[in-house]
Structure 1
């Protein structure tokens, strides 16, 4: 099934519809999805990201890695993070999604769109506004080495005044990953100022961050754009 427009344009349509009709964004997204022939927005998004198969990141990661997955909307960064969790679960590893973006139901729909059948045990889904570095490390305490956790997404960790600055939270996650051997991956937005005509793949300088993160906060970074993916070591 071919979409009538790229996913980022459909997202824009949904936002405009929500504003014009004075309805919640999720209802507007559901209408857009229905117009495109999908039962739910999450299924539409999963379909859009299937255009590019980036394979698996898991064999290229080491225990204790801090991985950054970054791209502009609609280029497959969330799919890559979910695929990482599914691959980890398929190997019998503990895998956990900490989502500040999706509800538990929406996340499960996206997992189901990527894998049929789902591996056992399925990735754990934590969807609560309480997610922060301390919440994540407390939840993962006692996890075996090689556990994989994905945070969706990095910028939202910095939105609540009651939590420490993003730089401090990233340091907490980095220290925890090194000590425990948990692989920690954070999905991140790329700033709108990024110009694909100047660089085919974004870089750390293109991250959309309200506050800076410490140098070498991540051990590896995976940048995506227009079907191209680049994994690089940062240390």
Structure 2
């Protein structure tokens, strides 16, 4: 018990120095045993790292103890300590369950009652859906009294199949290099920011400047390769006009080019969601994730499962870009199939929607085919969009 309290004090001292670690720690008041520690954790959540404001939450007799914690020399408070505190919370929960079951057994209760007790404990940790409520919600959507949430792509032909991306979904946009994954994703998200959706774009391949150049090219009609060269007066006018139109729209877009690992990306998504809300997250692209394990397929599977769970937990749409296998280019029929997804079958399994892109670079470079290869809540199909790769533009 004493060890538990010391661990709690160490973690609280760290949080008092840097309240931004609250999100990373994934702790709650229930992870602390000591009542004062619970109260201190709640105070940090409310007022941050301001010691004076934290102390104001406590009576005079408690304030010396708070100062004692704040003055602790923090050599720990690392992630493994957060995990240890979580582990101890789970141990206490299991001890409570066992104690309750032992009492039921000692009282000679029936097996049905014992199983009921087990189910009650499970409900504390698992959100159990009330089927009646779910069915009422579905009927309300069908009758139009409640509108389901969709984030359309902005492309009419495609949205006839998808209606849009919905909260809780993991969606895939896949293609071979140079076909236009980033171009398609960028056009989707810019259409969505026009509809006032809040979006984060994680670019693991390009810098924020390179992404911004492509956004400006798309909205001004200037070729991307002109963005690093001196502009003509006519080009400058087009760029300035595009900047004015983009100013309000891009307040809803956050670009991140400095994180490469799954934990970093999930922490940043949670932070942005808590700070200002998020509707959609785009990640470009899966195969550039910094993967530590030896088994790449297993690690890719871990990434897609984690992102799927995150989408469900936060009720956001995550769109993950992915490469297709090189073997696609050696086939007579080069229309991509689900089996062409690179690195792991779990991509197909975890995804709600899989869009695959195809473009004949030699004969029809300005025609983009979008193959809807998986659509959990709709039909499959194929649509053609017009594209101008030089200026990153896509049209219906």
Normalised-by-shorter TM-score class: 0.5 to 0.7
Question: Which residue number corresponds to residue 257 of structure 2?
Answer: 127
Sort the Cα spacing of 1:191 and 1:214 in 2 relative to 1 into closer, same or farther, 3 A.
closer
Cα RMSD (Å) = 2.8
Sort the Cα spacing of 1:196 and 1:55 in 2 relative to 1 into closer, same or farther, 3 A.
farther
Question: Which residue number corresponds to residue 89 of structure 2?
Answer: none
Q: Which runs of 5+ in 1 are unaligned?
A: 1-53
- Residue 98 of structure 1, CA deviation: 0.5
Q: Deviations over 1:176-223 (max 9, x none)?
A: 1012221101111111110475434212211222x5536521000111
- The residue correspondences of 1:110-121 to structure 2 (distance < 5 A) are 110-115=214-219, 116=242, 117-118=245-246, 119-121=249-251
Question: Which residue number corresponds to residue 76 of structure 1?
Answer: 180
How many residue pairs get aligned? The number is 180
- The answer on whether the counterparts of 2:168 and 2:316 sit within 8 Å (CA) in structure 1 is yes
Sort the Cα spacing of 1:131 and 1:101 in 2 relative to 1 into closer, same or farther, 3 A.
same
Question: Which residue number corresponds to residue 303 of structure 2?
Answer: 169
2:349 maps to 1:216: yes
- The answer on whether the counterparts of 1:71 and 1:225 sit within 8 Å (CA) in structure 2 is yes
Higher helix share: 2
Name the TM-score, length of structure 1 as normaliser: 0.67
Name the TM-score, length of structure 2 as normaliser: 0.41
Question: Which residue number corresponds to residue 316 of structure 2?
Answer: 182
Question: Which residue number corresponds to residue 93 of structure 1?
Answer: 197
1:137 to 229, 251, 266: 266
Measure, in 2, the Cα distance between the counterparts of 1:102 and 1:122: 20
Sort the Cα spacing of 1:214 and 1:85 in 2 relative to 1 into closer, same or farther, 3 A.
closer
Structure with higher RCO (Cα < 8 A, 6+ apart):
1
- Residue 86 of structure 1, CA deviation: 1.0
- Residue 71 of structure 1, CA deviation: 0.9
Q: Which has the larger radius of gyration?
A: 2
2:363 maps to 1:231: no
2:211 maps to 1:107: yes
Report SS of the residue matched to 1:101.
coil
Measure, in 1, the Cα distance between the counterparts of 2:352 and 2:182: 19
Q: Deviations over 1:143-180 (max 9, x none)?
A: 58761111110111154459981211211110010122
Measure, in 2, the Cα distance between the counterparts of 1:199 and 1:219: 25
Q: Deviations over 1:104-156 (max 9, x none)?
A: 1111111111223322415211001x333322222222358761111110111
Sort the Cα spacing of 1:196 and 1:123 in 2 relative to 1 into closer, same or farther, 3 A.
farther
Report SS of the residue matched to 1:121.
helix
